[in-house]
Chain A
Amino acid sequence: MGNNKFDIFDILVGSEGRPDYKKKPVIIQGMTGSYGSTHTRLMKAYGTNIVAGVTPGKGGQSFEGIPVYNTVAEAVRVTGAQISGMFVPAPFFLNAAKDALESGIKLLVAVPEHVPIRDSLAVLELARSKGARMIGPNTPGVIVPEIMKVGIMPAQPFKAGTTVVFSRSGTLMYEVSYNLSKNGFGQRLGLGIGGDPVNGTDLIEAFDLIRDRKDVESVVVVGEIGGDAEERLAEYMIKTSFQKPVVAYIAGRAAPKEKRMGHAGAIVYGNYGSAESKTINYAKADVPVAKRPAEVPELLAKKMRR
């Protein structure tokens, strides 16, 4: 399953003592659009070292003192960036992602919603062949609280700490992280899996990113109805005896069947994808499921005491 050695912390933060520690260069594809420019400003203010933007046809311009290039290849050659935050509209996603991966980008943070599934699959295949990773599409992005973020998440809910939050939903990632922060559970990492049926980094791969990390003490998984990502995660936890305390939340218990609840991936067919099936499987892996976002820190505190 993918490349288990992919070290997301090394890519995002780097190692202490190195000149680029906490200053890893990031490029933004689609920086000149209104969405991209708004969030470029916010990411920069948070501490992300944004070194270049890429918008075909706008090379040579600059935004907030950040140079814009026509291609990722050019931007990478000049800056050495390995991370790209993608803010291009869905119809342009496939070509933009290919451009990035073929230019040596190792981490694609794919923010756009409504990317066709075939395009996600094609990018996933290309990323695998290049030893690169995609987060998303339809993700709020990734944040290392109080150090940097690539994505659209607000800063306020997140505080530095030792919990990791993985989420299939954007706003629920903020909501749960806010509740965690308020109760003394800061986060080492917040990562949006994405709301689509196909995710560049799925829950199991996300767990592999942190399973051996000493600076991670607990994990919170914010899931929702649809698919069997939670079921497979539970199975994986049992099979590999995952040691860190894990608490889950699942949105969509009260949703009707066969209706897409906002996210392309949030749809139940029969029992496939139901909250009940997920809860049952989590129970087997000894993962408590919170009834409300505010209950997550309570359950985590209980779990940590054991």
Chain B
Amino acid sequence: MRLLEYQGKELFQQYGIKIPKSYLANDIRQAHDAASKIGFPLILKAQVTVGGRGKAGAIVKCNSASELDQKFTELQRKEIKGELPRGILLEAMADIKKEIYLSLFLNRSKRCYSLIASAEGGVDIESVGNKVIVDIPIAGLGSETASDIAHKLGLGGNAVQLFVDFATRLSRLVSEKEAELAEINPLAVIGDGSLVALDAKVIIDDNSLFRHPELAKYKHVSELEMQAETSGFSLVELDGNIAILGNGAGLVMSTLDMVADAGGQAGAFLDFGGSATTETIYEALKVISRIDKIDDILVNLFGGIVRTNLVAQAILDAYRDKVINVPVFARISGAESEKAKEMLKGSKAKIYDTAEQAIQAVVAEASKSMKASAMSGRADHAAGRGQTTTK
């Protein structure tokens, strides 16, 4: 779960990590309230989870109350890399003397937590040559290690102790809140010599949320994603018109690749897991049916853990109940696949022995729908999909 900046900063505050004076505003009235508390000039920061906000124009300086109306409204409506802001953070300007980079993250390669720090903050850390990387014991970052790092960053005097304090508090946040990443970029040394976290990027381990009810309020998923999650599915919405369903994340990814190779465009990725039943697969089709752009459904099923005849029954039920009316192309192999094939004979579902055959067929069909929609416009197509797809 990737937190927004202001959410990360709320956690920072709880852990005594200093942040600039800032307030979240969701409308212009709140914005003026916030501005009167902060004073001008101030910074407007669009709250989105995508990276590279600065370059994308999501961070704007605002000099006066008269500028605020226009700049706030503009930013509120601005789509940043496909994402609309969930609020605007108004923040006091900082008198920056020096910018540092600091992050703690789950190091997959080493299977431990690591810290990265650099004296060159405020830029993309990937592009920085001079960085300190230290592995951290599961118990957390010790003061001595933190002090060593501070010296390596060229900090001196009072700043060393301030950095130690910052880094150890961040480490405590990472262990207690089970973050995969907590990044402060930049961590600013300001005019009075103190340290302030100007940005916050925090990712929480989704699998740990069951023991963090206090973080539930930060969860942001669409109704559709929620429906999928409640049913135990992994769903990723994509741009094309073919929905790809299967039993296992790897298999669905692999199918996605093969569809792309064949010239098709996937519109949804749905893994219904290994212990799926007729009910859950029916649910999966229900979820898919809510995505308008889907013209065809591809089911790639490797049997064994899933009883394939149960899947066939789910498809039949979904047609009967008019949950779906688009064609289903299914590759079914494994336990009881012969029975599944027999069951689906005569329905709008077509069964194939190999993934390659099913993919070829679905891509051919889906490209016809693509052409049809290109001629009539996507919206018309979506509205009239009952006709276009009932062939």
Q: How far is the CB of B51 from chain A (nearest CB, A)?
A: 8
For B237-272 the 0/1 string (1 means CB < 8 A from A) is: 010000000111111111011111100001001010
Known interface pairs A251-B250, A262-B234; 11 further A-B residue pairs with C-beta atoms within 8 A, sorted by A's residue number: A115-B207, A169-B250, A170-B250, A172-B250, A199-B111, A251-B251, A254-B266, A255-B269, A256-B238, A260-B234, A262-B248
Q: Count B interface residues, CB 8 Å.
A: 50
Question: Could you say which residues of chain B place their CB within 8 Å of the CB of A302?
Answer: none
Identify which of residues 157-178 in chain A touch chain B, using a CB-to-CB cut-off of 8 Å. 157, 167-175, 178
Flag if A253 contacts B260 (CB, 8 Å).
yes
Flag if B207 contacts A154 (CB, 8 Å).
no
A96–B123 Cα gap in the complex (Å)?
Answer: 44
* Known contacts A121-B138, A292-B356; is-contact A227 B250 (Cβ 8 Å): no
Contact of A266 among B246, B253, B356 (CB under 8 A): B253
Tell me whether B180 is interfacial, beta carbon within 8 Å: yes
A294–B247 Cα gap in the complex (Å)?
Answer: 18
Nearest A residue (CB) for B266: A254
Question: Could you say which residues of chain A place their CB within 8 Å of the CB of B250?
Answer: 167-173, 195, 222, 224, 251, 262-263, 266
Question: Could you say which residues of chain B place their CB within 8 Å of the CB of A116?
Answer: 178, 205, 207-208, 211
Q: Could you tell me which B residues sit within 8 Å of A by CB distance?
A: 50, 106, 108-109, 111-112, 126, 138, 175, 178, 180, 205-208, 210-211, 234, 236, 238, 246-254, 256-261, 266, 269, 271, 274-275, 302-305, 333-335, 354-356
User: Could you say which interface size class chain A belongs to?
Assistant: 35 or more
Q: How far is the CB of B253 from chain A (nearest CB, A)?
A: 4
Q: How far is the CB of A304 from chain B (nearest CB, A)?
A: 23
Most A CB within 10 A of own CB, among B251, B259, B355: B251
Q: How far is the CB of B126 from chain A (nearest CB, A)?
A: 7
Contact of A252 among B108, B253, B334 (CB under 8 A): B253
Q: How far is the CB of B205 from chain A (nearest CB, A)?
A: 5
A178–B335 Cα gap in the complex (Å)?
Answer: 13
Question: Could you say which residues of chain A place their CB within 8 Å of the CB of B354?
Answer: 294
Flag if A291 contacts B180 (CB, 8 Å).
no
Most A CB within 10 A of own CB, among B106, B109, B266, B302: B302
For A262-281 the 0/1 string (1 means CB < 8 A from B) is: 11111000100000000000
Q: How far is the CB of A200 from chain B (nearest CB, A)?
A: 9
Flag if A152 contacts B253 (CB, 8 Å).
no
Flag if B254 contacts A175 (CB, 8 Å).
yes
Question: Could you say which residues of chain A place their CB within 8 Å of the CB of B333?
Answer: 178
A35–B275 Cα gap in the complex (Å)?
Answer: 8
Flag if B111 contacts A198 (CB, 8 Å).
yes
Flag if B178 contacts A171 (CB, 8 Å).
no
Question: Could you say which residues of chain A place their CB within 8 Å of the CB of B335?
Answer: 154, 156
Flag if B271 contacts A232 (CB, 8 Å).
no
Question: Could you say which residues of chain B place their CB within 8 Å of the CB of A121?
Answer: 111-112, 138
Contact of B205 among A117, A202, A232 (CB under 8 A): A117
Question: Could you say which residues of chain B place their CB within 8 Å of the CB of A175?
Answer: 251, 254, 302
Question: Could you say which residues of chain B place their CB within 8 Å of the CB of A225?
Answer: 253
A89–B180 Cα gap in the complex (Å)?
Answer: 22
For A19-37 the 0/1 string (1 means CB < 8 A from B) is: 0000000000000000100
* Known contacts A175-B254, A253-B257, A262-B271; is-contact A227 B109 (Cβ 8 Å): yes
Tell me whether A209 is interfacial, beta carbon within 8 Å: no
Q: How far is the CB of B36 from chain A (nearest CB, A)?
A: 37
Flag if B304 contacts A153 (CB, 8 Å).
yes
Tell me whether A293 is interfacial, beta carbon within 8 Å: yes
* Known contacts A116-B208, A121-B112; is-contact A262 B252 (Cβ 8 Å): yes
A11–B356 Cα gap in the complex (Å)?
Answer: 39
Question: Could you say which residues of chain B place their CB within 8 Å of the CB of A232?
Answer: 109
Question: Could you say which residues of chain A place their CB within 8 Å of the CB of B205?
Answer: 116-118
Nearest B residue (CB) for A152: B305
Nearest B residue (CB) for A265: B108
Question: Could you say which residues of chain A place their CB within 8 Å of the CB of B258?
Answer: 291-292
A7–B257 Cα gap in the complex (Å)?
Answer: 36
Identify which of residues 70-103 in chain A touch chain B, using a CB-to-CB cut-off of 8 Å. 90-91
A83–B121 Cα gap in the complex (Å)?
Answer: 49
Question: Could you say which residues of chain B place their CB within 8 Å of the CB of A140?
Answer: 274
Question: Could you say which residues of chain A place their CB within 8 Å of the CB of B206?
Answer: 264
Q: How far is the CB of A199 from chain B (nearest CB, A)?
A: 8
A156–B109 Cα gap in the complex (Å)?
Answer: 33
Q: How far is the CB of B304 from chain A (nearest CB, A)?
A: 2
Tell me whether A261 is interfacial, beta carbon within 8 Å: yes
Question: Could you say which residues of chain B place their CB within 8 Å of the CB of A291?
Answer: 257-258, 261
Flag if A195 contacts B249 (CB, 8 Å).
yes
Question: Could you say which residues of chain A place their CB within 8 Å of the CB of B249?
Answer: 169, 195, 224, 261-263, 266
Sort A-B residue pairs by CB-CB distance and give the 5 closest, nearest first.
Answer: A169-B250, A154-B304, A262-B249, A171-B248, A254-B260
